Structures are given as structure tokens and as C-alpha cells.
């Protein structure tokens, strides 16, 4: 027997024992060691059995993420057996719902701290998705080197289903499955934030079903509910993502999430990032078309109509409650008029809805009977004092000799679309009058014609003007269209293109009300304009020695001269104002001090 081994297994006085005693002790030691290994193996078998039968899934990989072990729960959760995953990496389960940055952050945290925990989407072989709670821990050896990764995960599908059901009950109407008033208010506030960020508009359409109470009373509540479900389904099909989700990539909602049932027979529609308020009218007409065909209730055909009120953020209101009130006011007007249509909110609706209804009816008749008249305000060369142009101004004379101010009816004409036929008449009449007055003058005068917002955005404007130019044979350079500063700033690219199209016709373009607070200086050189027209509010203060107004006027004149633009000052009411403007280099002036607006027959005698 080796002496070292003998020392290891025998007591110090083993030499005094006989061989049998030594062998007996060795046997006892071997039995103890065998028993210890057996107990360890049993414990390992027990642990392996427990882990394999655990309700949570377990995965073990090596340091290179190659899968070494999975338990039965993993197979039940993922649908993958050990044969499917052996030697592969956990990427085999990736759902594609997380961005690369998510996984990059996961591994950075795991490598840094040795641990990561969170919720993650995975995918089964049958392409079904499931969410799980995952915890990963790095296993390191005595030298601190990672040798394995151990992960456990639990299925969150049932929990998510419960949460989603609670979410649905909280935010969705159980009858129509449309968002309810709570979710609608959340969505509306979210759209306001997007509008503010992108300097755009948000439209709100409020719909109420006409005569629904009568139908409900006649056929019963069950039939009424059935009708509401049919209405909701049709409205879903009438809205499109392009109407409601202008920036689709920034949202996760369904298209229908911005269509809501907010009351018994009340529905709302949020129109995101409108290019122009008129776009809301396109959607309104499409929604109303859902009621052309009858609905079937209790085996009978039911004909239903709806009324819509439209309000625009931030044009009509600056917060959710105020915008809702505006749309309700517009909706009330539709109901008063006879239902089955739509209305935009306008400020004067709050003052007198009935007056507006009567005014609109009269305006329709005025367009049909051509009751309008053009007045002209002369424009003077401030240096030579010669008459060089005139501005066409619309007037609506009444039978009693009075006039209805354009400020009163132009907004109604804009909302109803009547501004387009009125605007066409203005352009045609102004061209005819210009040809007549220039026929008796040695030096021709230029005519200035104002374009409204709706006209400027009307795709037919260019062809209409081109037709009038060709049919009259007028020199297009004698026509100047005035466009307000705000119209240019609303949609810069669209405005620039529209102005370029006008300039191709050979007409002149002027920016009206220049200096009224829009950031146009930075864009001025981008627009193909010929004339700057200083807003009369600055001219009015020149008599009062208002230094700020003088500075603004001088700056605008200097800017125009520097850009080789013609500068016009409107609202001149005193000789002192005219002299100050002339000395500052302003080219042309108009105002009551020079001449008041006058009918065409008076203009013929004026000069």
C-alpha cells in the first residue's frame, strides 16, 4: 500500500492496527462516499424532475446562446420540442414585433448587470403571437466568465386578454364596438398635440341621427340597438385611413378608432392634420352618403338621415370643450334648417343662427339673380399723382338702398361654396370694366382683384382665369390678384405652386395685408409676387407719430424696394400720411383721402 495513501485513510497509529481493521475503515469510508454520491444524484434527479414539470418555462444556453436545455412548459408555451431548438438560439422564437434597438438594449443590460427582466412578444411555429414575462441570468464560473444563460418565462396571454377586455369595456361602446366618449376625448387631446407640433388643423365632425327617437319608440329599444349597429358598420366603411390618420406611421390605432359613439345616437369623427378646412366637407358628404340606402329593421326598410356639425382646431376653438361646443352649435343650425346636411361652425352662429339661415337663403337668390355690384377704389402713383390702377370691391345693394357689408356675407359664401360662382362673376365683370375704362385712356390702368381662401385653393381657378383672359383678349399683366398673407403661410408649398400657376398666365400677384404678424419675411423671396400691400392698420398710426408704426412701414417699403417689388399703401386718410409714404419711397397709395370706392359709372368720370 502506498505510504501517502495509507496516511490519508489510516489514523496516525494505523501501524498499530491489524490489516482487518484498516480494511474495515476503508470499506466504511467508501460506503459513505457512495451514499453521498447517490444522494446527490437523487437530488439532481429531483431538481431535474421539478424543473421539467414546472408551470413556468425554462431554457439554458451556453455562452454562445446555443440552446442546451428546455423544459416541458417551454414546449407547451412555444410549440417547440427540444429536437426543434437543440443547438439553435432563442431567436427561433422572435416575433418581429420588437425593434432591433429593443434587443440591443436587452443584451447591453444583461452583459452589464448579468440580469434582465421584462415583457416580450414571441411567435409560435403556427404564426400565433404570445406575450411572456422573461427573466434571464448569466451563470459565471469562479473566474467570473459567463459559461451559461439561464432563463425562466411565464405566459402572460391570459393576463393580457383580461387587461384588453377591461380596456375594451372602459374605452369602447359594447353595442357598436366603437370608441366611447372617454376614448374619444383622449384621442381628441392627442390630435391637438399633433396639430400643434406640425402646425396643422384638426377637424371635429359631430353627427346626430335624425328622427331616431321616433323609430326607437315605434319599433322598440332592441330594434333601435340593431339600427345603431348597422349605422356604425356603414360609418366604419365610409371613413378611410387617409382621412383620419394623416401620419399613419406615428399611430397604432385602427382607422375606426377616431370614429366614436359618444352618446345615444351621437357619433363623432376626428379628422387629423387637415390640409384645408374644406377637406372636412368631403368627408362629411361621404359620411352622409351612408344613409342613401335604407336600413332593414324588423323586416322593414327604414330610411334614416343624419346631420353633421363641423368645427376646426385651432380656427374655431383652442381646447376640447370649446371645439365640441362649436361643433354642437353648427349641428344645431343644421337641425334648424331642416336636417340631413352639414354645416361648418362660424363665429356669427353664436350670435344669430336664425339670421345666418336667412342670410344664406338670400345669398343663394342673389347669386342666381346676379344682384351684386362692383365698386372700384382708385390707386394713385404717389410720385406723379397719376391714376394707375383700381381695386375691385364687391357690394350687395338692397331694395331699400342699403348695402350688406362683405364682412357680413363673405364668410357665409365661403362656408357654403357660393364664393366660387361669386368669385367667377367678380373676375369676369372686373375684366370687362377694365377693358371699357382703358378704351378711353391713353395709359391703361391695372385692376386688382381679391381672391378668397376657397377660390385660391380651388383647382378650377387657373382654367377659369385662363378662359376669361382668352375670351376677353385682355393683357394679363393688367390683372393683379391680391392674396392675403395668412393664405400663404397656411400651406407654404401648396401656396407657392398655386402662385406659380397663376404667374404662368401672365397675371400679377400682390400680398395683401402685409405685416399683420405672420412669419412671411423668411418666405417672401420664395413666392413669385410683384407687389407688397402694407396693411392699413400701420398707415392709420402714422398721423399719431407712432414710431413703431413708422419703423414697420419704412422697413416694409425698404424690403419691397430691395426685392424690386411694387409697394402699395392702403387706408390713406390724410395728406400727411400720403406725404410720409411718398418720402419713404412707397410707390402707390389708395384710401379715402385719394378717393372712396365708387360705382363703375362714376369711375369713368373720375379721371
Q: Which residues contact 445 (CB under 8 A, 6 or more apart)?
A: 387, 388, 389, 390, 434, 437, 438, 478
CA–CA distance, 104 with 94 (Å, rounded to integer): 14
- Give the residue with greater pLDDT, 37 vs 154: 154
Residue 398 reports pLDDT greater than 80: yes
Write out the three cell numbers for 117.
427582466
CA–CA distance, 426 with 575 (Å, rounded to integer): 32
**pLDDT digits 0-9 by tens, 344-355:** 998 766 655 667
* Closest listed residue to residue 587, CA positions, set 517, 515, 530: 530
Question: Could you tell me the CA-to-CA distances from 278 to 283, 289, 415, 439, 481 in Å, in that order?
Answer: 9, 17, 8, 40, 22
Given this model, what pLDDT does residue 169 score? Answer: 78
Cell 343662427 sits on residue: 353
Count the alpha carbons within 13 Å of 460 in the hemisphere toward its beta carbon: 7
Share of the chain residues as helix, strand and coil, in percent rounded to the nearest 5: 50, 25, 25
CA–CA distance, 445 with 588 (Å, rounded to integer): 13
CA–CA distance, 333 with 353 (Å, rounded to integer): 6
- Give the residue with greater pLDDT, 582 vs 211: 582
**pLDDT digits 0-9 by tens, 351-379:** 556 677 778 888 988 998 899 999 999 99
Write out the three cell numbers for 452.
378668397
Percent of the chain having pLDDT more than 70? 85
Cell 390605432 sits on residue: 253
Q: Bridge-partner residues for 380, per DSSP? A: 387, 589
**pLDDT digits 0-9 by tens, 534-556:** 888 788 877 666 677 788 788 88
Write out the three cell numbers for 535.
396693411
| Summary mean pLDDT of the chain | 84
- Give the residue with greater pLDDT, 350 vs 31: 31
Among 73-87, 215-229, 353-367, 470-484, which range has the highest average pLDDT?
Answer: 470-484
CA 108 to chain centre: 37
Q: What is the mean pLDDT of residues 5-22?
A: 51
* Closest listed residue to residue 192, CA positions, set 242, 252, 258: 258
Decide if 59 contacts 90 (C-beta within 8 A).
Answer: yes
CA–CA distance, 541 with 243 (Å, rounded to integer): 46
**How far does the chain reach from its first CA to its final CA, in angstroms?**
141
Given this model, what pLDDT does residue 556 score? Answer: 85
- Give the residue with greater pLDDT, 490 vs 479: 479
- Structural domains in the chain, sorted by start: 3-53 (no CATH), 57-160 (3.30.450.20), 172-351 (3.30.70.270), 359-606 (3.20.20.450)
- pTM of this prediction exceeds 0.85: no
- Give the residue with greater pLDDT, 169 vs 138: 138
Given this model, what pLDDT does residue 47 score? Answer: 62
When mean pLDDT is compared across 377-386, 516-525, 543-552, 593-602, the lowest value belongs to 516-525
When mean pLDDT is compared across 16-30, 169-183, 255-269, 447-461, the lowest value belongs to 16-30
Write out the three cell numbers for 281.
366637407
Burial class for 165, CB neighbours closer than 10 Å (0-12, 13-18, 19+): exposed
- Give the residue with greater pLDDT, 146 vs 257: 146
* Local structure of residue 17 (DSSP, 8 states): S
Residue 518 reports pLDDT greater than 70: no
* Local structure of residue 47 (DSSP, 8 states): H
Given this model, what pLDDT does residue 546 score? Answer: 66
Cis peptide before 314 (omega within 30 of 0): yes
Percent of the chain having pLDDT more than 90? 43
**pLDDT digits 0-9 by tens, 93-134:** 899 999 999 999 999 999 999 999 999 999 999 999 898 999
**pLDDT digits 0-9 by tens, 283-321:** 999 999 999 899 998 888 888 999 999 999 998 999 999
Q: Determine phi and psi for 392, rounding to 5 degrees.
A: -80, 125
Residue 490 reports pLDDT greater than 70: no
**What is the band of 245 on the pLDDT scale with cuts at 50, 70, 90?**
very low
Q: What is the mean pLDDT of residues 26-36?
A: 68
Q: What is the mean pLDDT of residues 215-227?
A: 88
Cell 378608432 sits on residue: 257
Decide if 250 contacts 195 (C-beta within 8 A).
Answer: no
Residue 453 reports pLDDT greater than 50: yes
Given this model, what pLDDT does residue 516 score? Answer: 58
- Give the residue with greater pLDDT, 45 vs 443: 443
CA–CA distance, 217 with 278 (Å, rounded to integer): 37
**What is the band of 589 on the pLDDT scale with cuts at 50, 70, 90?**
very high
When mean pLDDT is compared across 122-131, 408-417, 486-495, 587-596, the lowest value belongs to 486-495
Residue 252 reports pLDDT greater than 60: no
266-274 β-sheet, strand order? 259-261, 266-274, 201-210, 305-313, 342-344
Residue 240 reports pLDDT greater than 90: no
**3-class secondary structure for 365-393?**
HHHHHCCCEEEEEEEEECCCCCEEEEEEE
Q: What is the mean pLDDT of residues 55-61?
A: 87
- Give the residue with greater pLDDT, 32 vs 238: 238
* Closest listed residue to residue 480, CA positions, set 405, 563, 406, 388: 388
User: Is the CA virtual torsion 430, 435, 441, 444 positive or negative?
Assistant: positive
Burial 494-532 (b: 16+ CB within 10 A, else e): ebeebbeebbebebbbbbbbbbeebebeeebeebebebb
Given this model, what pLDDT does residue 198 score? Answer: 87
Question: Could you tell me the CA-to-CA distances from 382 to 477, 565, 573 in Å, in that order?
Answer: 21, 15, 14
Given this model, what pLDDT does residue 504 score? Answer: 95
Given this model, what pLDDT does residue 324 score? Answer: 92
Radius of gyration over every alpha carbon of the chain, rounded to an integer in angstroms = 40
| Beta-strand relationship, 531-534 and 566-570 | parallel
Amino acid at each position: 500500500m502506498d505510504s501517502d495513501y495509507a496516511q490519508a485513510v489510516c489514523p496516525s497509529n494505523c501501524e498499530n492496527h491489524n490489516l482487518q481493521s484498516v480494511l474495515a475503515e476503508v470499506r466504511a469510508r467508501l460506503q459513505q462516499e457512495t451514499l453521498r454520491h447517490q444522494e446527490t444524484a437523487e437530488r439532481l434527479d429531483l431538481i431535474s424532475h421539478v424543473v421539467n414539470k414546472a408551470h413556468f418555462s425554462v431554457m439554458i444556453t451556453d455562452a454562445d446562446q446555443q440552446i442546451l436545455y428546455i423544459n416541458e412548459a417551454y414546449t407547451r408555451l412555444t410549440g417547440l420540442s427540444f429536437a426543434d431548438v437543440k443547438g439553435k438560439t432563442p431567436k427561433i422564437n422572435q416575433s418581429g414585433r420588437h425593434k432591433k434597438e429593443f434587443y440591443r438594449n436587452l443584451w447591453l443590460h444583461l452583459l452589464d448587470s448579468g440580469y434582465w427582466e421584462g415583457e416580450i412578444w414571441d411567435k409560435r411555429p403556427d404564426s400565433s403571437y404570445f406575450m411572456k414575462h422573461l427573466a434571464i441570468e448569466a451563470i459565471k464560473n469562479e473566474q467570473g466568465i459567463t459559461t451559461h444563460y439561464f432563463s425562466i418565462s411565464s405566459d402572460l396571454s391570459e393576463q393580457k386578454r383580461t387587461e384588453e377586455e377591461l380596456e375594451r369595456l372602459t374605452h369602447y361602446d359594447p353595442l357598436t364596438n366603437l370608441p366611447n366618449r372617454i376614448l374619444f376625448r383622449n384621442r381628441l387631446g392627442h390630435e391637438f398635440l399633433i396639430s400643434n407640433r406640425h402646425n396643422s388643423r384638426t377637424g371635429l365632425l359631430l353627427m346626430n341621427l335624425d328622427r331616431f327617437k321616433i323609430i326607437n319608440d315605434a319599433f322598440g329599444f332592441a330594434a333601435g340597438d340593431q339600427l345603431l349597429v348597422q349605422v356604425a358598420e356603414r360609418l366604419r366603411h365610409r371613413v378611410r385611413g387617409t382621412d383620419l390618420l394623416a401620419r399613419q406611421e406615428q399611430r397604432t390605432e385602427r382607422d375606426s378608432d377616431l370614429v366614436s359613439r359618444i352618446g345615444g345616437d351621437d357619433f363623432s369623427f376626428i379628422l387629423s392634420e387637415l390640409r384645408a378646412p374644406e377637406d372636412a366637407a368631403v368627408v362629411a358628404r361621404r359620411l352622409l352618403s351612408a344613409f342613401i340606402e335604407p336600413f332593414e329593421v324588423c323586416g322593414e326598410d327604414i330610411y334614416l338621415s343624419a346631420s353633421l356639425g363641423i368645427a376646426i382646431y385651432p380656427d374655431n376653438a383652442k381646447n376640447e370643450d370649446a371645439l365640441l361646443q362649436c361643433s354642437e352649435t353648427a349641428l344645431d343650425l343644421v337641425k334648424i334648417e331642416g336636417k340631413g346636411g352639414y354645416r361648418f361652425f362660424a363665429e356669427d352662429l353664436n350670435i344669430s343662427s336664425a339670421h345666418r339661415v336667412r342670410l344664406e337663403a338670400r345669398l343663394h337668390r342673389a347669386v342666381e339673380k346676379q344682384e351684386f355690384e362692383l365698386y372700384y377704389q382708385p390707386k394713385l402713383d404717389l410720385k406723379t399723382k397719376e391714376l394707375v390702377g383700381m381695386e375691385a370691391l364687391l357690394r350687395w345693394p338692397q331694395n331699400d338702398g342699403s348695402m350688406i357689408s362683405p364682412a357680413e356675407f363673405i364668410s357665409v359664401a365661403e362656408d357654403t361654396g357660393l364664393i366660387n360662382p361669386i368669385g367667377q362673376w367678380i373676375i369676369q365683370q372686373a375684366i370687362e370694366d377694365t377693358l371699357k375704362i382703358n378704351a378711353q385712356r391713353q395709359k391703361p390702368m391695372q385692376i386688382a382683384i381679391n381672391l378668397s381662401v376657397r377660390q385660391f385653393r380651388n383647382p378650377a381657378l387657373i382654367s377659369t382665369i385662363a378662359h376669361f383672359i382668352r375670351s376677353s383678349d385682355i393683357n394679363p399683366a393688367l390683372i393683379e390678384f391680391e392674396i392675403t398673407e395668412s393664405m400663404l403661410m397656411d400651406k407654404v408649398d401648396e401656396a407657392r405652386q398655386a402662385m406659380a400657376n397663376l404667374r404662368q398666365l401672365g397675371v400679377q400677384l400682390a400680398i395683401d395685408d402685409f405685416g399683420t404678424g405672420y412669419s412671411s419675411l423668411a418666405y417672401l423671396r420664395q413666392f413669385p409676387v410683384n407687389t407688397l400691400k402694407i396693411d392699413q392698420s400701420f398707415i392709420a398710426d402714422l398721423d399719431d407719430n407712432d414710431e413703431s408704426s413708422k419703423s414697420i412701414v419704412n422697413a416694409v417699403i425698404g424690403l419691397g424696394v430691395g426685392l424690386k417689388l411694387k409697394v402699395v399703401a392702403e387706408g390713406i386718410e390724410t395728406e400727411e400720411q400720403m406725404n410720409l409714404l411718398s418720402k419713404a419711397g412707397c410707390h402707390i397709395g389708395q384710401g379715402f383721402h385719394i378717393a372712396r370706392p365708387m360705382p363703375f359709372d362714376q369711375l369713368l368720370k373720375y379721371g
